[in-house]
Structure 1
Amino acid sequence: MAKTAKKAAKKAVKKAAKKAAPKKAAKKVAKKAVKKAAKKKSVRKPNAAFMAPLTASPVLAEVIGNKPLPRTEIVKKIWDYIRKNNLQDKKNRRMINADTKLKPLFGKDQISMFDLAKIVSKHVK
């Protein structure tokens, strides 16, 4: 009789474990979702390397001024200058046409907007 009681107890434990397992898994999934949402809501800190003030070369200073600025602001000022003087190519908006101030900076008549960061890095310290 003791053997049958033990078997019945084992079966009951297995059934309970099977029923509890999905609940535990659901709890784990819910916890992971909460953690993910918390990560997304957190505010990213700006990278200090992008925020460090850089000195512009004399050629670049003609376009943006000679005050030390972060890299992000330098690119922003160049784009302001490009838009103000209508220097984007009419057919292919990804290309930037150089005027008298930008030609020494670019080194050619026209560049791609994707080359702008490379050019800025050559002209800052």
Structure 2
Amino acid sequence: MAKKSTKTKKTTRKPNAAFMKPVQPDEALAAVVGNKALPRTELTKKLWAYIKKNGLQDAKNKRQINADDKLKAVFNGKKSVNMFDMTKLVSTHLVK
């Protein structure tokens, strides 16, 4: 019985330039993540850090984010949003 070679060629993954380009949050989003221009990846990390620090992730359904007063402004007044809808709502609060 011959053993098959399990070696695979590794390719280095290049980050997408669009995600690395700094974006400027508007006033509502700046209250949560700060008012410095950040790459989208860092903005998302800060947003999740805020959500976890304040215990805003729903205990039963981890996909739901329960908004506090600062996040309600970002979520267009909604009390709770799905994590996938959250990214869509956050993108509307970026200054172009």
The TM-score bracket by the shorter chain reads 0.7 to 0.9
Which stretches of structure 1, 4 residues or more, deviate above 3 A after TM superposition? none
Q: 2:74 aligned to 105, 110, 117, which one? A: 105
Structure 2 length normalisation: TM-score? 0.87
In the TM superposition, what is the alpha-carbon distance from 1:116 to its structure 2 partner? 1.7
Residue in structure 2 matched with residue 120 of structure 1 by the alignment: 90
More strand by share: 2
* Structure-2 separation of matches of 1:97 and 1:121: 18
* Structure-2 separation of matches of 1:120 and 1:60: 8
Q: The residue matched to 2:89 in structure 1 has which SS?
A: helix
The structure with higher relative contact order (CA 8 Å, sep 6+) is: 2
- Is the contact made by 1:98 and 1:110 (CA closer than 8 Å) also made in structure 2? yes
* Structure-1 separation of matches of 2:44 and 2:85: 11
Residue identity over aligned pairs, in percent, reads 57
Q: 2:12 aligned to 23, 28, 43, which one? A: 43
- Is the contact made by 1:54 and 1:69 (CA closer than 8 Å) also made in structure 2? yes
Tell me which structure has the larger Cα radius of gyration. Answer: 1
User: How big is each residue's C-alpha offset from its partner over 1:45-99, in whole Å with a ceiling of 9 and x where there is no partner?
Assistant: 1010000000001100000000000111111111000000000111111100000
Give the length in aligned residue pairs.
Answer: 90
Structure 1 length normalisation: TM-score? 0.68
AA paired with 1:115?
Answer: D
In the TM superposition, what is the alpha-carbon distance from 1:121 to its structure 2 partner? 1.1
Unaligned runs of 5+ in 2: none
More helix by share: 1
- Is the contact made by 1:88 and 1:96 (CA closer than 8 Å) also made in structure 2? yes
Aligned alpha-carbon RMSD (Å): 1.5
* Structure-2 separation of matches of 1:120 and 1:100: 15
